Structure 1
């Protein structure tokens, strides 16, 4: 009996010490879900990874531009002539001279040297992006043919000295160097993928995004249906009421939650949208919701979308970070900063192809050559710089490919992660495929996260 009792006690001890669903950091699923109570997402505008983070040198593990020869011909019709190679921006321009063409066909030209890459050949693996068309398209779209000096801004990159705020965040937290935007095209289709896992066939910033034009379920609707609190804080509209309604002549983009018909019909447009100024108050008071989504203004001073000054964008991000870091909810917060799309700026890493689309809808647009091009959303856009910040993540971590699902990070990784965190369904095939990042969480919070970030550089 004594031996049996001892064996039973030993067995109970083993069972008690077992931790089901271990992740690579050695702690159970339930623990990281209990640790992260608030998720904050800030989506800036129109910068590729190489442009903004390609000049970082604090880690040799970053797949960036330093020590790399990445070149484009002045004219893709003569690929061996008049070669221009990427270099650091010296002196750096606080405001980009030109806004590159970041339509779907414009991005296709940068990647494939044509507005009309054969999608069938791409799917079969017989056509690879040569990444040689960025310089040519920059001259065409901004009408300065033959001016390699000006056009090369699309290839060149900032150094850490130019963007001290962004570098300090990266050095202190997790930098993703293989995070791709979901659409090789403009702002709103990508923002729709961030917030619903599909753009519902929209490939341009058309009127469907203006006021409840999208019918699909968004993360905002899904959270409300599961009693998870959320606020879309916005500085993207100059309308005194915060939202541009049909028939009004106010300037600026609506908050991303207003893309969706549900936001209008459910009344969430009146209860779940706030001015950006209220974010700072809520952060200081510890009353931020479980999910915070922040729209910057667009596109003149904070968002980094040309002609927004880089320095003002840095100060904007700094203010958001410091409000979170010094607020009472910090120890339960995950803060993600990303960029909605590459903005037409070059990147030396070819985006993934043959990925699941958000749905079966296609999009057709007229290219600069006067011919139509149809896109089915089965290839991603370029890499965008993405940083994940929390006391629950490591310092100076460089994250490459995803570790689960499709082993690829895209914007749809955000709703995919929220589904994991709060036990929700995946919204679309894209969110079901995009990798999540909970394996990066630590088993105990750090105490060395910086309370302040450097001042933005004055150019």
Structure 2
């Protein structure tokens, strides 16, 4: 970086400090190097299934040797073990409701309070959801990808920071997790119900917070508005529908803004869902990889790259298996609960007091170290989707949105003061498999 660039950066930091006042970061914090955040949330893949086969670092906690019984009610039934033969297009879309997640994680639809997560019910739930009596097909829920299957993500992980203990916020479907991602709570929603389609969520979101603070933001959406099943995440909220619609724009504008150096301070990207680029079955994995590649290369080659942190994560596990038990006894976003009929027809009430299954997550920036595998943070809590909100609140001096955000660890210590000039301008093309 040139001396002139450092001078410009120092001036920007000073202005930011004067703006934030008492909430300004210490001068020694690497977070001072970040002026722009880009977040892309892909769809429905567990860590084991998508990233557990990465082998560039032996400490990555993957699924090798992980098995489930063919019938969780019969522990001595045939074992179905994870193999590196995941398909580009999954034959079936696994159950990822809260009820289905109970069976997958606990081996029962009605786990008792304090129950141990056995992580042995994925095959049983897959067979219950798709009763074809075909263990090879059911095993698609537990199989995983190799680095050759996912060269784009493999390259990103090797060049930046990979989390192998990052948990979804809710052990259930997409929209409740996306609400936690953007507001620290789902306001009692445990399924993709109509409130997400009618901008009915009343809680304060990160988008409202940023607007109140004078921080610029956009939600770039890749055709979610044209899908009757989904709205862009920012439009979940009543406030956005009334005050921020102009900040929700098509994905093509993202590429234009990135190339011109006109990305806002906070960029939120919705993928298409759920047939082409999102990775949600039946979306092909390689199409999703090429979408991620395009987003990365637009950010990497933007004039704003030197001041940007790009966070790539997945909203939830999508019913795909993972062997690591999610944390329990965590604070909910609020006091609301959610009830639904379980797979056995009986009602189950969820208190939002435990996290969802692990999902892949990476930090991408010239200000993070190369090839880091981040495990559990110090302090005992776990990285989760609301860690993003925690980081943003620290960076820009925002109030905490919920008790879950309070509990969540920040990843600010992973942002350094050492600028890297070796970050790849281009990534490999997606695999053909």
On whether the aligned pair clears a TM of 0.5, the verdict is yes
Match of 2:268 in 1: 293
Counterpart check, 1:70 vs 2:66: yes
Asked if the contact 2:89/2:282 (under 8 Å) is kept, the reply is: yes
- Aligned runs of 1:7-46 on 2, under 5 Å? 28-29=26-27, 31-46=29-44
How large is the Cα RMSD of the aligned pairs?
Answer: 1.2
- Aligned runs of 1:203-214 on 2, under 5 Å? 203-214=190-201
Counterpart check, 1:408 vs 2:404: no
Match of 1:108 in 2: 102
Give how far 1:401 is off.
1.1
Give how far 1:348 is off.
0.4
Paired residue secondary structure (2:224):
coil
129, 148, 160: which is aligned to 2:135?
A: 148
Asked if the contact 1:236/1:252 (under 8 Å) is kept, the reply is: no
Paired residue secondary structure (1:117):
coil
Q: Structure 1 CA distance, aligned partners of 2:349 and 2:381?
A: 27
How many residue pairs match? The answer is 409
Give how far 1:28 is off.
4.4
- Using structure 1 for the length normalisation, give the TM-score: 0.87
Match of 2:16 in 1: none
Q: Structure 2 CA distance, aligned partners of 1:432 and 1:263?
A: 24
Q: Structure 1 CA distance, aligned partners of 2:201 and 2:228?
A: 21
Asked if the contact 1:236/1:254 (under 8 Å) is kept, the reply is: no
- Aligned runs of 1:154-233 on 2, under 5 Å? 154-233=141-220
Asked if the contact 1:231/1:289 (under 8 Å) is kept, the reply is: yes
Give how far 1:351 is off.
0.1
Match of 1:138 in 2: 126
Q: Structure 2 CA distance, aligned partners of 1:329 and 1:420?
A: 21
337, 341, 346: which is aligned to 1:362?
A: 337
Match of 2:285 in 1: 310
272, 283, 288: which is aligned to 2:258?
A: 283
Asked if the contact 2:161/2:364 (under 8 Å) is kept, the reply is: yes
Cα deviation 1:160-218 (Å, max 9, x = unaligned): 00000000000000000000000000000000000000000000000011121100000
Counterpart check, 1:253 vs 2:230: yes
Counterpart check, 1:265 vs 2:253: no
- Aligned runs of 1:88-107 on 2, under 5 Å? 88-89=84-85, 92-107=86-101
Q: Structure 2 CA distance, aligned partners of 1:308 and 1:28?
A: 44
427, 432, 435: which is aligned to 2:409?
A: 435
Asked if the contact 1:252/1:297 (under 8 Å) is kept, the reply is: no
Asked if the contact 2:196/2:230 (under 8 Å) is kept, the reply is: no
Give how far 1:397 is off.
0.2
Match of 1:6 in 2: none
Give how far 1:61 is off.
1.3
Give how far 1:72 is off.
0.8
Q: Structure 1 CA distance, aligned partners of 2:28 and 2:204?
A: 27
Give how far 1:29 is off.
5.0
Paired residue secondary structure (1:278):
helix
Match of 2:367 in 1: 392
Cα deviation 1:75-128 (Å, max 9, x = unaligned): 112111211111111xx4210001000000100100111111112xx1xxxx20
Q: Structure 2 CA distance, aligned partners of 1:87 and 1:387?
A: 24
Match of 1:12 in 2: none
Q: Structure 2 CA distance, aligned partners of 1:254 and 1:232?
A: 11
Paired residue secondary structure (2:373):
strand
Give how far 1:251 is off.
3.1
Which 5+ residue runs of structure 2 have no aligned equivalent?
A: 1-24
Asked if the contact 1:46/1:187 (under 8 Å) is kept, the reply is: yes
Paired residue secondary structure (1:430):
helix
Paired residue secondary structure (2:37):
strand
Asked if the contact 1:236/1:253 (under 8 Å) is kept, the reply is: no
Give how far 1:34 is off.
2.7
Match of 2:347 in 1: 372
Structure 1 segments (4+ residues) deviating >6 Å:
none
Match of 2:18 in 1: none
105, 111, 117: which is aligned to 1:129?
A: 117
Q: Structure 1 CA distance, aligned partners of 2:223 and 2:233?
A: 9
Asked if the contact 1:72/1:135 (under 8 Å) is kept, the reply is: yes
Paired residue secondary structure (2:413):
helix
Q: Structure 1 CA distance, aligned partners of 2:93 and 2:428?
A: 28
Asked if the contact 2:56/2:158 (under 8 Å) is kept, the reply is: yes
Which 5+ residue runs of structure 1 have no aligned equivalent?
A: 1-26, 240-249
Paired residue secondary structure (1:403):
coil
